[in-house]
Amino acid sequence: MQNLLIKNGKVVLFKQDDVIIEKKDILVQNGKITRIEENINCENDDTKIIDATNNVVMPGLINTHAHIPMSIFRETTEGCKLYEWLNEKIWPREDKLTPEDVYWASMLSYFEMISTGTTCINDQYFMPEEIRRAAMDCKVRAVITRPIMDLEGALEQRIEEFKEFYESRDRNDELITYSVAPHSLYTCSDKCIKATADLAREYNLPIHTHYLESIDEIEDIKNKHGKEAIEVIKENYEGIHIILAHGVHLNKKDIEVLKTMDCGIAHNPISNLRLGCTIADTTKYLQEGINVALGTDGQGSGSNLDMFEAMRVACLIQGGIHENEERLTAKQVIKMATINGAKLLQLDDKIGSIEVGKDADLIIVDIEEKLDNITMVPNLNEIANLVYNTSGKNVQTTIVKGRVLMENRQMKIKNVKIADVIQKCNKIAERISK
């Protein structure tokens, strides 16, 4: 792998609790960050120099909750509530998907995430072999699983499918990791929840599940399990690391219990707003010491994988529930999209911040003062501008473990062209919507 020297960038660094920007050069050797200093000179002629003058260099964004092939369901939520959308729009169309469809729909998402600055994504969707195959072809970082639920029975079969999928992994692949994913407490029986806890313990994997996304779930879960959602979580998953997607409707008791557990929230503000699930009080969760990271959810409900948009909305909506109070800041939301996400996915020893020794998962963001960036002028507060006035389209270059996947907005994925991905996905969308 070619070594990289990123010159003259304004580098986003985490110093104690603060987020700062300093002008530094970054040397990347064998996929790892080896030096972060002023004026590094290249001793080795083979090193590729990337000029980041007038640009921000920041950790690659980490999307902690998505359904990667759901790119194919973009803009199907209009006017629907969660249950109605799943039952009437999504599940009938999913029945028509072939493995090849899932591969191309995943490709569309990987191109989307690379082009908007996300370097790692946490998935939960069926036909995971295809999602993994596409991830390996694109060289992105991903947490993949075979979701488990037993609304229609077949629990043993789902468990077997998970085991078969997990056992078929390439043990040398450092970019793909795994979770055990009970879909949700409202689609999993008691027996199913227990079985997923057993799997997580057996394989030493985290749990990734939807949790209290909509108000309707609270009663449904009580009826199904005979107890409150938080009691089901505590009884079954104590001692296991848990990634809870959404957590919109956490009450005082939920927060008290979750504080004592090894868990965190994957907050998906845009999907929550699109499906009328209201607003998770992430300001309070963070104040209480619960780790909160950021996600988009699938494009079916979240519209897109642009984590800059998710950061902006995550900050803005806190003003809708906190009047004249301290609330989520731009610095906090940048951490949610990077280091908090790495912690939530148990990858913070490798990614989530720009530090010597970590893998080089980096993005270069164009903030040059020019017509395209006119909303950033004057750029006196670069951190706030990154959150409020930047979109994924500002991302120039995306690097995963030292490999350049996009450079100056040119995709570098071998053997796959964006025009082919678009054509294939349009055809699939047309066919399954009939």
* Closest separation in Å from C-beta 65 to Zn ion: 6
- Should residue 123 be labelled a site residue for Zn ion when binding is judged by CB under 5 A? no
Contact 364, 57 (CB under 8 A): yes
Give the residue with the Cβ less far from Zn ion, 74 or 327.
Answer: 74
* Closest separation in Å from C-beta 242 to Zn ion: 15
Span interacting with Zn ion, options 72-80, 147-155, 292-300, 345-353, rule CB under 5 A: 292-300
Give the residue with the Cβ less far from Zn ion, 150 or 297.
Answer: 297
Label residue 157 exposed, middle or buried (CB < 10 Å: 0-12, 13-18, 19+): exposed
Give the residue with the Cβ less far from Zn ion, 297 or 309.
Answer: 297
Give the residue with the Cβ less far from Zn ion, 119 or 299.
Answer: 299
Strand order in the sheet with 141-144: 61-66, 118-123, 141-144, 176-178
Question: Which of 297, 306, 309, 366 lies at the binding interface for Zn ion (CB under 5 A)?
Answer: 297
State how far the Cα of 10 lies from the Cα of 146, in Å rounded to an integer: 40
Shortest-Cβ-distance residue relative to Zn ion: 297
* Closest separation in Å from C-beta 393 to Zn ion: 25
* Closest separation in Å from C-beta 408 to Zn ion: 33
State how far the Cα of 233 lies from the Cα of 134, in Å rounded to an integer: 33
* Closest separation in Å from C-beta 130 to Zn ion: 18
State how far the Cα of 392 lies from the Cα of 291, in Å rounded to an integer: 24
* Closest separation in Å from C-beta 210 to Zn ion: 5
φ/ψ of 210, rounded to 5, equals -75, 135
Query: Taking CB under 5 A as the criterion, which residues in 135-194 touch Zn ion?
Result: none
State how far the Cα of 373 lies from the Cα of 386, in Å rounded to an integer: 11
State how far the Cα of 266 lies from the Cα of 62, in Å rounded to an integer: 11
> Quick one: how far is CA 151 from the chain centroid?
26
Span interacting with Zn ion, options 28-36, 201-209, 295-303, 322-330, rule CB under 5 A: 295-303
* Closest separation in Å from C-beta 222 to Zn ion: 21
Q: What is the CA radius of gyration of the chain?
A: 21
127 DSSP assignment: -
Give the residue with the Cβ less far from Zn ion, 24 or 246.
Answer: 246
Give the residue with the Cβ less far from Zn ion, 51 or 75.
Answer: 75
Span interacting with Zn ion, options 2-10, 294-302, 308-316, 395-403, rule CB under 5 A: 294-302
Number of residues that bind Zn ion (CB under 5 A): 1
Residue 428, sorted as left (phi over 0), alpha (psi -120 to 50) or beta, turns out to be: alpha
* Closest separation in Å from C-beta 181 to Zn ion: 10
State how far the Cα of 321 lies from the Cα of 78, in Å rounded to an integer: 24
Give the residue with the Cβ less far from Zn ion, 130 or 297.
Answer: 297
Binding residues for Zn ion, per CB under 5 A?
297
